[in-house]
């Protein structure tokens, strides 16, 4: 899809801090991921289309659910139930992204086998590594670590509507390209709730 309606959708999503990519009137993967994030925060069933229910929600949107009311003026909140990440700056929403957390499917790698789990709790960012980083379970793009060099918020080519990671918080590649520039990559609170 492309055209004026898509451009208006992209402008509205961007104004609400969902990142649709360039406002160019083309409904590509960046816009689709922003649509998913919006639908997830609005309690709508995520789908690859903008229906009348979503159009009503765009006219009167709900704010993303606050997970930690006094979590700090600058913080990252990951809502595993809704599969969404919210970055707050000065206690205002600065970015909302669709995510994919641990998929719950048993996996095996060269380092052994296990059940994937995204840890819940209160963490802080510990560091950032640019580009594609190879780890025992695969590759991460621009990871911002919150537990050692194991768990990170990172870009991936596969950020489906269902939980699918080995434990990290996957974000779309287009958002991972700049996410690390939006916050201090050491010391920013990260709250993960299910």
pLDDT in tens, 63-119: 999 999 999 999 999 999 999 999 999 999 999 999 999 987 777 777 677 788 999
d(Cα 188, Cα 57) in Å, to the nearest integer? 31
86 φ, ψ to 5°?
-125, 125
pLDDT for residue 57: 97
Residues 146 and 122 in one domain: yes
Residues 11 and 90 in one domain: no
Four-point Cα dihedral 51, 52, 53, 57, nearest 10: 100
Residues 82 and 165 in one domain: yes
Is 64 inside any structural domain?
no
Residues 92 and 173 in one domain: yes
Closest CA relative to residue 76, chosen from 114, 123, 117, 41: 123
**Residue 19's domain is classified under what CATH number?**
1.10.101.10
Residues 95 and 35 in one domain: no
- For range 139-155, the mean pLDDT: 96
Q: Give the structural domain span for 157.
A: 75-193
Residues 82 and 54 in one domain: no
**Structural domains in the chain (count):** 2
d(Cα 18, Cα 43) in Å, to the nearest integer? 15
With cut-offs at 50, 70 and 90, classify the pLDDT of residue 125. Answer: very high
Residue 163: count other Cβ atoms within 10 Å of its Cβ.
17
- For range 151-161, the mean pLDDT: 96
């Amino acid at each position: 899809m492309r055209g004026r309606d898509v451009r208006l959708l992209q402008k509205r999503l961007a104004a609400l801090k969902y990142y649709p990519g360039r406002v160019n009137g083309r409904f590509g993967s960046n816009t689709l991921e922003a649509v998913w994030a919006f639908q997830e925060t609005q309690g709508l069933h995520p789908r690859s289309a903008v229906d009348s229910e979503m159009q009503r929600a765009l006219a009167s949107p709900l704010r993303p659910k606050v997970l930690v009311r006094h979590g700090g003026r600058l913080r990252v909140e990951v809502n595993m139930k809704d599969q969404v990440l919210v970055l707050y700056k000065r206690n205002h929403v600065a970015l909302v992204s669709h995510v994919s957390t641990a998929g719950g499917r048993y996996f095996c790698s060269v380092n052994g086998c296990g059940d994937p789990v995204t840890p819940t709790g209160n963490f802080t960012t510990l560091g950032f590594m640019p580009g594609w980083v190879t780890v025992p379970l695969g590759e991460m793009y621009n990871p911002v670590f919150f537990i050692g060099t194991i768990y990170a918020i990172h870009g991936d080519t596969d950020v489906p509507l269902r939980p699918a990671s080995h434990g990290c918080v996957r974000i779309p590649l287009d958002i991972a390209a700049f996410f690390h520039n939006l916050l201090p990559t050491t010391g920013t609170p990260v709250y993960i709730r299910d």
